[in-house]
Structure 1
Amino acid sequence: MIKNSADIDAKESINKDDNSNTIKSLFLKEISCPVCKNSFRTASVKVNAPRIASRDSDLFIRYSVINPYLYEVWLCPTCGYAALKVDFSKIREFQIKLIKEKITPKWVNREYDIPFTEKIAIERYKLALLNALVIESKSSTKAMICLKIAWMYRLLMDEANEKNYIKQSLVAFNDTFINEKLPVYGLDRFSIMFLIGELHRRIGEDSLALRWFSEVITSIGAPQKVKEMARDGKDKIRRY
């Protein structure tokens, strides 16, 4: 639940006396929960607010001013249903039943200060991951949530937890590649092949990384940009 604040005006914009760019980049979005049908408001990033500062080799984008990754989980304060915002409404009847049986009875609402921090984002992503496990979401969903948790730990410079969630993401991405219809989350077959290789590289599994990078480079249908990313990955392994 988002804490009530006198800073929220009738237009549901968020303002504070310090005129923070971060706060000005946020607004409260009205959401209807597909599980319990209650409405709630959640902090969201204005469309034109994010500014890309740089990109990491595993597709993580670093932003200045406001980090939209911090706000990618929607969490119903009434029933405890949490999911990535792109998946929030994509829930089936049997999954709704599972939420009501296994999540809601144990749910204790919590409040979050605005703006969200990396630690708050991690907690919300982990709640989304718990929901994904309970409702038997596809491996691609679990892979993306775990990867984004890893990215949040990267921002906190917590290498141990970052690698732990990269490993969990890898397991799910491998299953995604084998068993799911692609693309998923904007990632086509070749992007996922590269990403699997890059994640292996980041946890020190160089031989597996090289195998995936080589698969990308030798694939006839792979876009040139993805091939170049795979070559860069191979070069990093050779240099270090």
Structure 2
Amino acid sequence: MAQQLEPHYDKKYKCLMCSHSFTSKKIRSRFVKVVDYDSDFRPIYSTEEINPIFYYVKVCPQCGFSFSDDFQPYFPPNAKEIITEKVCDQWVPHEFGDIRDSRMALQTLKLGAYCGTLKKEKHISMAGIYMRLAWLYRSISNEEQEQRFMKLALKEYTESYMTDDFRGTQVTELRILYLIGELSRRTNQIQQAIKYFSKVIERQNTSTEPKTVEMARERWYEIREKQKETI
């Protein structure tokens, strides 16, 4: 009798910090069903248990260093010493390699954010972690924490755009401009939102991402309509 395929499987990882080999769960892509997207690209899954965001950060069970696939293997000078002192020396061995719920996912994402900050990871990588924290808090209707992490993501996306550190990643310049606009809108920084949505719309003739341009135009009109109502 053929064995039934499970949604989760173990993937081997090597800790960027201490080189310890360990396994952490991932979800097979065939089980991931996206039913919709929010206007900031948050995927809405058909079932909350089958949520790849839960497994975005890997936590080394030996030293506690936590990282995503987007982290660079390079450590700046003194970063390893700082991480050893602030993370590894404080680490109480803990196993995050099994199936996670939203509470564990939030814990691992925060560990990843802390390690990434100490490592001085690229702005684009940090933005990805903060964005996922905001999405998870939205899914459990914690608006205060959602706002907090959207603002942190916005700061990192803006820094990434200014320093060009998104080059060579899957995130395009147009998508960053749109996300800066959308996160500005969601955190009530309306003038900044208009400015960045306009930057996206200005590129409509040269863009290969018509959907992103269309989304920017929709958000821009929404803001304008809202402003008319308040006059």
TM-score normalized by the length of structure 2: 0.86
Alignment of 1:22-41 (within 5 A): 24-41=6-23
Q: Secondary structure at the match of 2:135?
A: helix
Is 1:59 the counterpart of 2:41 in the alignment?
Answer: yes
Check 1:64–1:115 CA distance in 2 against 1; reply closer, same or farther (3 A cut): farther
Counterpart among 110, 113, 119 of residue 126 in structure 1: 110
Q: After the TM superposition, which residues 138-217 of structure 1 pair with which residues of structure 2 at under 5 Å, given as runs?
A: 138-183=122-167, 185-217=169-201
Q: What secondary structure is seen at the aligned counterpart in 1 of 2:215?
A: helix
Q: Is the 8 A contact 1:118 1:155 kept in 2?
A: no
Q: Do the aligned residues in 1 keep the contact of 2:22 with 2:60 (CA within 8 Å)?
A: yes
Letter aligned with residue 123 of structure 1: Q
Unpaired runs of at least 5, structure 2: 227-231
Mean Cα deviation higher: 122-131 or 217-226: 217-226
Q: Which residue number in structure 2 is paired with residue 90 of structure 1?
A: 73
Of residues 34-43 and 128-137 in structure 1, the stretch that sits farther from structure 2 once superposed is 34-43
How many residue pairs get matched? 219
CA distance in 2, matches of 1:33, 1:44: 16
- Mapped partners of 1:235, 1:196: distance in 2: 17
Counterpart contact for 1:72–1:84, Cα < 8 Å: yes
> Which amino acid counterpart does residue 92 of structure 1 have in structure 2?
F
Report sequence identity in percent: 27
Residues in 2 aligned to 1:120 and 1:199: alpha-carbon distance in whole angstroms? 25
Residue 184 of structure 1 deviates from its aligned partner by: 5.8
| Alignment partners' CA distance in 2, 1:173 and 1:157 | 24
Report the equivalent of 2:229: none
Separation in 2, partners of 1:216, 1:47:
31
Residue 26 of structure 2: SS of its match in structure 1? Answer: strand
RMSD over aligned CA atoms reads: 2.2
Unaligned segments of structure 1, at least 5 residues: 1-12, 16-20
CA contact (8 A) 1:147 1:165 kept: yes
Question: Residue 88 of structure 2 aligns to which amino acid in structure 1?
Answer: T
| C-alpha contact 1:210 1:234 (8 A) present in aligned 2 | yes
